[in-house]
């Protein structure tokens, strides 16, 4: 029986700019319980994402019960996270946290179609943790590295998710190179020097 237990998907590091440009979701099997993936424009699938940024706003937008919306900003843009009764720990964290504060979030991408037919993407958080500035800066460095790696391998033969992204999105992947470089440049020199002497740790 043990071989049928699903493994947890890797939480992908992605900047807000790329995350918000995504909108195409897919499954890789017809199984009802098969994971739903968000296709990232740089040619990677994401069932879970890992982000760190500044919680700038939070609001209980629920009508009959608590339903919290949080606005998380990274150097490239804004993530929106939503947590309600089915994510009690994340909802509790949003209720207790003060804005502004640095937060680390692991969650699942969710897409919905607006009235005008465009696709919006948000995160349904599994966990929300308050962190310090050094953790946020380290995430920026690691996410920039992962983004640049995805862009670099985009044209590799056999990169099926890149081919899929090429078909689904009419977006120049070079723009994510610029976003990653801009994010790195947004870190002040002093912090970057600290990071250079501090080996990155895996957060998720």
Q: Could you report the per-residue pLDDT of 15-49, keeping only the tens digit for each?
A: 999 999 999 999 998 888 899 999 999 999 999 99
Cα–Cα distance list, 140 to 2, 4, 20, 73, 83 (Å): 37, 36, 17, 12, 24
**Is the distance from CB of 32 to CB of 156 less than 8 angstroms?**
no
Answer whether 104's CB lies under 8 Å from 50's CB: yes
- Closest Cα partner for 74 from 144, 171, 152, 146? 144
Q: Does 2.40.50.140 match the CATH number of domain 2-196?
A: yes
* Other CB atoms within 10 Å distance of the CB of residue 174: 10
Q: Can you tell me the distance from the alpha carbon of 195 to that of 82, in angstroms, rounded to the nearest whole number? A: 31
Residue of 169 and 62 predicted with greater confidence: 169
pTM, full prediction: 0.86
Q: What is the pLDDT of residue 200?
A: 44
Domain ranges of the chain: 2-196
pLDDT band of residue 170 (cuts 50, 70, 90) is: confident
Edge-to-edge strand list for the sheet holding 44-46: 25-26, 37-40, 44-46
């Amino acid at each position: 029986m043990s071989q049928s237990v699903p493994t947890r998907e890797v939480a992908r590091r992605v900047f807000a700019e790329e995350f918000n440009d995504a909108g195409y979701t897919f499954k890789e099997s017809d199984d009802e319980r098969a994971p739903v993936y968000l296709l990232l424009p740089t040619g990677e699938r994401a069932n879970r994402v890992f982000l760190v940024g500044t919680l700038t706003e939070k609001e209980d937008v629920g009508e009959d019960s608590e339903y919290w919306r949080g606005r998380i900003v990274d150097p490239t843009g804004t993530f929106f996270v939503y947590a309600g009764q089915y994510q009690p720990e994340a909802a509790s964290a949003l209720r207790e946290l003060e804005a502004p504060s640095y937060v680390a979030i692991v969650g699942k991408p969710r897409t919905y179609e607006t009235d005008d037919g465009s696709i919006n993407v948000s995160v349904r958080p599994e966990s929300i943790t308050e962190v310090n500035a050094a953790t946020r800066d380290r995430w920026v460095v690691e996410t920039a590295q992962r983004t640049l790696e995805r862009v670099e391998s985009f044209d590799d033969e056999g990169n099926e998710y890149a081919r899929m992204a090429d078909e689904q999105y009419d977006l120049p992947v070079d723009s994510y190179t610029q976003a990653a470089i801009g994010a790195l440049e947004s870190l002040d020199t002093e912090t970057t020097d600290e990071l250079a002497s501090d080996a990155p740790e895996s957060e998720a």
